[in-house]
Amino acid sequence: MEPILRGRFAPSPSGRMHLGNLFSALLAWLSVRRAGGVMVLRVEDLDPGRCRPEYARQLADDLRWLGLDWDEGWQKGGPHSPYLQSQRTEAYAGAFRRLEAQGLLYPCYCTRAERLAASAPHRSDGQAVYDGRCRHLTEEARAELSRTRQPAWRIQVPDRTAAFSDGLQGPYAENLLRDCGDFILRRSDGVYAYQLAVVWDDGDMGVTQVVRGRDLLSSTPRQLYLYKRLGLTPPEFFHVPLLLAPDGRRLSKREHDLDMGALRAQFTPEQLIGLLAFWAGQLEQPEPVAAAELAPCFDWAKVPKTDITVGALPL
């Protein structure tokens, strides 16, 4: 018997969801429902400075309004409770200690400005590669620095290629040392980093398929490294195109780009789903349709790989 597919929505409640978030959510949902799998809702509210409970409530309400339901997760419960990352800190601390016991972690005292100076060259995605300078500090230097600074904690990465095959984008590889660099697992304010939390949670929650925006493709080699070091089984990944504003910019929560507040005022759920499904290659025309009607015919082979400009939106 085929194992049951387990997919997830993993939104961050740092603003109202925009059309790009909905696009990823719809594809994740269709893929799970087509396969008769289980959908999990996990709220990624790790960063207390950016996330707010009212955004979490809103996003759950917005998903329901669109007809994108979930079987397990926040507001619903299930075997892997809690489903709010802010309530899972103990689990991340456990994962952190397991990596620490392998001798892989070190404190990094660099300030933000120093981190940028210690990072070269910039990757094609604009992220900086840390040069590992705090890896080699002497005990004396660490003791001296800790008198005035709280360190972040980084994991050492080997000079090795991490390769995988993305379900949509195909083969992808990065050298962990040259292209990623030692990366942060816990910030200097004690907040666990996204990379650690997402890997621990997907592994712990038995997620077998991750569908998310293409901007996270370049995080995947780092995450695969963590899966390996933590002895967890990685899911399959599908990195879906981003939606772009007419000027070529990615839609963003900060800009309130086509967010659910504006969209709900002007569209029915069926109109919105129809539009998203058309961009996702599942409909010939952007015509109103319920998400549930699309699920039986959902086909990954029809989903475009490259980003989509949404200038023509009839708003």
Footprint of ligand GLU (CB under 6 A)? 10-12, 44, 198, 212, 216
In the complex, the smallest distance separating the C-beta of residue 12 from ligand GLU, rounded to whole angstroms, is 4
Nearer residue to ligand GLU within complex by CB, 215 or 293? 215
In the complex, the smallest distance separating the C-beta of residue 246 from ligand GLU, rounded to whole angstroms, is 23
Catalytic residue among 76, 228, 253, 305: 253
Strand 183-186 and strand 243-244: pairing?
unpaired
Strands (E), 2-93: 6-9, 38-41, 72-73
Going by C-alpha positions, the residue among 73, 18, 27 that lies closest to residue 251 is 18
Is 228 one of the catalytic residues?
no
In the complex, the smallest distance separating the C-beta of residue 14 from ligand GLU, rounded to whole angstroms, is 8
- The answer to whether 26 and 9 are in contact (CB under 8 A) is no
Query: How far is residue 84 CA from its own chain's centroid?
Result: 14
**CA–CA distances in Å: residue 194 to residues 158, 186, 254, 302, 314:** 20, 9, 19, 31, 35
Nearer residue to ligand GLU within complex by CB, 154 or 212? 212
Cα–Cα distance, 153 to 115 (Å, whole number):
13
In the complex, the smallest distance separating the C-beta of residue 265 from ligand GLU, rounded to whole angstroms, is 23
Nearer residue to ligand GLU within complex by CB, 193 or 289? 193
Nearer residue to ligand GLU within complex by CB, 11 or 107? 11
Going by C-alpha positions, the residue among 56, 14, 57, 7 that lies closest to residue 29 is 7
Active-site residue list: 253
